[in-house]
Amino acid sequence: MSLYGMMRTGVSGMAAQSSKLATTADNIANSDTTGYKRASTEFSSMVMPNTGRSYTSGGVTTTVINSISQQGIHKYTTSASDLAVDGNGFFVVQDPGGTKFLTRAGAFVPDGQGRLVNAAGFQLMAYPYGFTPASGSADYGSLVPVAVPQGEIPAKATTQGAFQGSIPTGSTPVPPANLPSANGVSAQSTVSSSLVVYDAQGTQRILDVHFTNTGAGTWEVAVFDRADAAPGGGFPYSSGALGTTNLTFDPVTGAIDPAATTLSLSLPGGQAIDLDFSQMTETGTQPSVVQNADGYAGSAIEKIEIGKDGVVSAIYGNGTIEKLFSIPLAEVPSPDRLTVLPGNVFAANSESGDVSIGLANEKTRGSIVSGALENSNVDIAEELTDMIAAQRSYTANSKVFQTGSELMDVLVNLKR
């Protein structure tokens, strides 16, 4: 064995332990970094050709491995835009230049334009709600930044409503002169209901809907604006019915005649509304009528909700829920081989395999947890133990180098 070889081996060992100490330092520094993945230095031997009479020392080489596939524990927060992945998937983010990356760091907050941006400045990307990506592909082109709506949702006028339930069979018919459509002082109805609607300006109106038995299996439906009701409510209304129709039911089954199940009416100002009665029946003795209508008043956004399937919904103060985006998750065949880049993001390469993107809750991508962050997967106790071991090994290798240097001095001084 040559003395120079011995010294080079000592230097190789010190360099290897120095690399191990560097990864340990990074791990400790990022032990509280959201979504950080632990780096470790693995050693492999370098063996020089040897003869049977002498040994030539080689050294050691290092490889850095990131434990990207190892999931950190979740830390729960009070922010709905804090996101974590429970599974193998990655969020897709982009930098200001539009380059796409993968990350597990989900501490997103809205920027000045409402876009969700994490602590490193990367924008969260998603598909518009309803878009379905091609299976197994990296469809980056259809991704858009997730943006929280700004301002108010505009009012939407009611265009349709529906009634379902039952009206009592065997009811006493009301004489024609007393029908609601006559709107007299003595007008009466068998069953009364109401419906909340909105005009084009978002103003709420309440419609009184009167169901009146006119004979065996026949009913009159009359709709009035409650604002026109007599003092104390009810008949007579100051204006006539907004619309009337007649419903017919089978006397045996109670099913409605499908030939006439819709009533079209107009609010003051000309707003048209279609009411659907196709789900009504004539059964039982107690009335049971349920109603609903579209339309709503203008309202500011109240909060954002993100489901396990990645669907981003805006909830407005008027109770309206608008589904905006579907946050996808990305996968690669070998996540531990991804290229680690600044900002806690990753890029695919030939060793990691190609990226595939799909909706959350599909395959092995996992689900999205709203109101949670993924902690670093660093174990401080393990890192401190590794640091002490690397320090001792570095010292031992320095002793090898020092011994080789002293022996070299002895060899050089033999000439004196």
**What are the pLDDT digits (tens) for 90-120?**
999 999 999 999 999 999 999 988 899 998 9
Query: Residue 90: CA atoms inside 13 Å, Cβ hemisphere, count?
Result: 30
Run of H or E including 28: helix 3-29
What pLDDT, on a 0 to 100 scale, did the predictor assign at position 268?
83
As a whole number, the mean pLDDT across the chain is 89
Asked whether residue 133 carries a pLDDT value surpassing 80, the answer given is no
What pLDDT, on a 0 to 100 scale, did the predictor assign at position 369?
95
Secondary structure class of 258 (helix, strand, coil): coil
Q: How far apart are CA 172 and CA 190, in angstroms?
A: 8
**CA 112 vs CA 109, 147, 236, 261, 304: distances in Å:** 10, 10, 55, 50, 16
Instruction: Identify the weakest region by mean pLDDT among 98-107, 122-131, 406-415.
Output: 406-415
What pLDDT, on a 0 to 100 scale, did the predictor assign at position 297?
84
Q: How confident is the model at residue 180 (pLDDT cuts 50, 70, 90)?
A: very high
What pLDDT, on a 0 to 100 scale, did the predictor assign at position 373?
95
Highest mean pLDDT: which range of 198-202, 297-301, 343-347: 343-347
Q: How confident is the model at residue 275 (pLDDT cuts 50, 70, 90)?
A: very high
What pLDDT, on a 0 to 100 scale, did the predictor assign at position 407?
82
Does residue 106 contact residue 81 with C-beta atoms inside 8 Å? no
What pLDDT, on a 0 to 100 scale, did the predictor assign at position 301?
83
Q: What is the pLDDT of residues 140-177, one digit of tens each?
A: 878 999 998 877 778 889 999 999 999 999 889 999 99
Asked whether residue 416 carries a pLDDT value surpassing 70, the answer given is no
Backbone angles phi, psi at 4, to 5 degrees: -65, -40
Q: How far apart are CA 301 and CA 389, in angstroms?
A: 56
Sequence spans of domains, the chain: 3-67+377-413, 75-149+306-330+353-374, 160-293
What pLDDT, on a 0 to 100 scale, did the predictor assign at position 74?
94
AA letter at 276: D
Best CA proximity match to 141, nearest among 100, 96, 97, 89 = 100
Does residue 373 contact residue 77 with C-beta atoms inside 8 Å? yes
pTM: 0.69
DSSP string, 113-161: TSBEE-TTSPEEEEEETT--PPTT---GGG-EE-B---SEEPPB---EE
What pLDDT, on a 0 to 100 scale, did the predictor assign at position 52?
65
Q: How far apart are CA 58 and CA 261, in angstroms?
A: 91
Domain 160-293, classified CATH 3.60.15.10, yes or no:
no
Asked whether residue 414 carries a pLDDT value surpassing 70, the answer given is yes
Mean of pLDDT values over 379-383: 93
Q: How far apart are CA 256 and CA 206, in angstroms?
A: 26
Q: What is the pLDDT of residues 23-51, one digit of tens each?
A: 999 999 999 999 999 999 988 887 777 66
Asked whether residue 59 carries a pLDDT value surpassing 60, the answer given is yes
What pLDDT, on a 0 to 100 scale, did the predictor assign at position 292?
92
